[in-house]
Chain A
């Protein structure tokens, strides 16, 4: 049974929006029983690590910081609920920020905030990287904008195609991203509460820091930065000679911030020594170290050392970080979205989709 929230529940007040959502208006759907789990057991359900310690099989040990998988420090503002064909919940993707890009990660197009992880192969195949842009505006409305020129999006079963337009999405609206079915649900957190928690979180470090982001918001773990040091961010790796065939590798120190403990889908594109943070010429800079994986600043790939400002988003593979300087709390700025190029293979060269204005310079008018 589904109860769709009545729009009149959202009332505007002079200084913002009051969002009250009584719990009985939350969408409900049949829960899974243990019998369903039997039929769902398709090989991906059984967890390997429940039975096998992978460190034993590796022959070296990954440092997995439990804090990296701890609960999100910010309250969720909304949720995307992934449903199967019969309307049962498969997974829920909480949205912890007011301004998020949804989709899958492709190195060419940069990190996305909401990495949809519960999709099967054919569903991911029809998902854009990125697919969707979701914004909660000051008036308290969620807008969405389709980003992918080739992947399809349906809102309330009607196709939405105009990449330049924003479409209103409400509580309980059904959303089809490619062939995957979702329901959008608002949660009772107000934007003001969210901002309050967000500011408190940024000030926690008490100095320049790089803070891990997840699902659109700073999620808790961070590394405090001292000007006299340089910080390599990456994952645990075996030392030279620790495993067969590594005798002639260069000798490196383990990274200063070890993110091996991140969930697999997040750390997948993170290099073992991914990037270095250091203080050069009166500003903090990020320098790509790993040549295999990309590093992004404000979602634009960088190839050389790049200066950071407070509030910049640093991307390493698919992992996003918020760079915070003590100078000021910068609220998340609204993103300048670049549409991915459509590759026209027949002409043998890359061209933008016709009829769309040329892209603005990256993050110019944030």
Chain B
């Protein structure tokens, strides 16, 4: 097959392709090119023998869901040769560069090796193997270190999954991990095997990260007990490696609940609570916590009972979720768990309403925050609030369920008018009561506009939740607290009490009392430390 050179035009069906760059060494019988379709869109053009082409079609068809693998756009196969047009990696990706790779952040590099291993696993699962993945078959994005396969010149059918075949495909993972972590050249298989057998030499070389040595030993040679015999084992190794790198976030929590001014309030109908648990999963330490505030409504005794009951049953439900599902599952989908906790807690309240004749009235608002490892989710009903303070920004994680919000939606009030319209501000449109359960869909997670605020995609926001960063402060308040401050005041209070969540809670509640203290005020503050 005649090789094409940069700038040359190539006719592919009805498309005119311009060759931008060749992605193979000159000896290759299956050349790959980065091409432009028409004038604008980048794509990959692979050429090779007919058998190879059919194998590519078989391996990559319906591979849409696998990150890091190109997708087939079009193909021409016959007369002993094949031309295949495939999607190109994102525009920010460029040919693999070892110097840039060495500077990719360690956690990102392990993550992108994991993604690449998943792609490789998909190829193996479809009965193909690459007969060795070379660095120049890869593109990477320098910022995130994401890796993409852009050529598979030796793709063939894997008749029998032998350890040697697997090793030829995965040894590049050991090389890449070594280069990124040690920031120096891979010494070659023989030297590395010798190094891994000599503890003193390893210590001298600084090769002591437990996760890394395991991956290196698994990838370096097909022989011995430690060699990975399939992609699943490689993925497990990379998972351990990733777990070693993650340091658990530490959470410090403070809480205050006060009566308010004696002129207006005779008892405290607010309640708040939190549970924090440390879980050791593998070598990964995950801290999980559930924090909530509830503001009781409906009569002096009833509101107090309802809010206390909902906090107790929510904390119990959280402990059940943690003990059954484990911290890792909580971290994967914190929002459904938080909302599920609210859902069963409100059912508990209704049971109380039906079966305990002494306590069958009253209702409560409920706002909960679930932090698991590095992710957070909320659940929310009523007009209590969860606020995230990140740097100078105060970001509301919940939207009040009030009559004012409804009237604004209907266009009957503007946001400014609603500020002054106290009756509609104080009327809540959703709450948990002892009479009726709240349906799952009426228990809110994050509001959609939060995604825009945090610069995230809204898709998945209400499953995987938001990322928790060191320095974040989460503030949960009942209306008695947040109706008495404005954002500048909150910023000032946070600045004066940074580093001590209990002091911050006391300051916010104290500020409400200084103003008027018309309502019970409750504050829970969670400070996340790296």
Contacts and interface: CB of A to CB of B under 8 A. Distances in A.
A125 B410 contact: yes
Nearest to A41: B458
Contact of B461 (A41, A57, A237): A41
B340 A48 contact: yes
B339 A48 contact: yes
B462 A41 contact: yes
Given A51-B337, A238-B351, A57 B436 contact: no
Nearest to B449: A42
A7 interface: no
A48 B354 contact: no
Nearest to B345: A57
Interface SS of A by simple majority: loop
Contact of B458 (A39, A48, A269): A39
Nearest to B462: A46
A322 to B, nearest CB: 24
A121 B429 contact: yes
Contact of B354 (A39, A52, A121, A272): A272
Interface residues of A, number: 45
B448 A41 contact: yes
Contact of B409 (A50, A59, A122, A273): A122
A54 B353 contact: no
A246 interface: yes
Contact of A265 (B312, B409, B439): B439
B104 interface: no
A43 B410 contact: no
Interface string B197-209: 0000000000000
A12 interface: no
B448 A43 contact: yes
Interface string B276-319: 00000000000000000000000000000000010010001100
Contact of B344 (A54, A120, A249, A250): A54
Nearest to A56: B324
Nearest to A240: B355
B79 to A, nearest CB: 39
B410 A59 contact: no
Contact of A59 (B320, B333, B353, B463): B320
A268 B446 CA distance: 24
Nearest to B337: A52
B459 interface: yes
A68 interface: no
B351 A47 contact: no
B271 interface: no
Contacts of A59: 316-317, 320
A56 B462 contact: no
Contacts of B435: 292-293
B486 interface: no
A264 interface: yes
B401 A56 contact: no
B409 A121 contact: yes
B445 interface: yes
Interface string B364-385: 0000000000000000000000
A38 B457 CA distance: 8
Contacts of B351: 237-238, 246, 272
Contact of A51 (B333, B354, B441): B333
A126 B410 contact: yes
Given A122-B406, A122-B409, A48 B336 contact: yes
Interface in B434-472: 434-437, 439-448, 457-463
Interface of B: 309, 312, 316-317, 320-321, 324-325, 333, 335-337, 339-341, 343-344, 347-348, 351-356, 360, 401, 405-407, 409-410, 429-430, 434-437, 439-448, 457-463
Given A41-B448, A57-B320, 16 more contacts: A38-B459, A43-B448, A44-B441, A46-B335, A48-B443, A52-B333, A57-B317, A59-B320, A121-B429, A122-B405, A122-B409, A244-B316, A245-B309, A264-B437, A264-B441, A272-B351
30 contacts: A38-B459, A41-B458, A41-B461, A43-B445, A43-B447, A43-B461, A46-B335, A48-B336, A48-B340, A48-B343, A52-B321, A52-B325, A56-B324, A58-B320, A58-B344, A58-B347, A58-B348, A121-B429, A122-B406, A125-B410, A126-B410, A238-B351, A244-B312, A245-B309, A245-B352, A265-B439, A273-B354, A292-B354, A292-B434, A292-B435
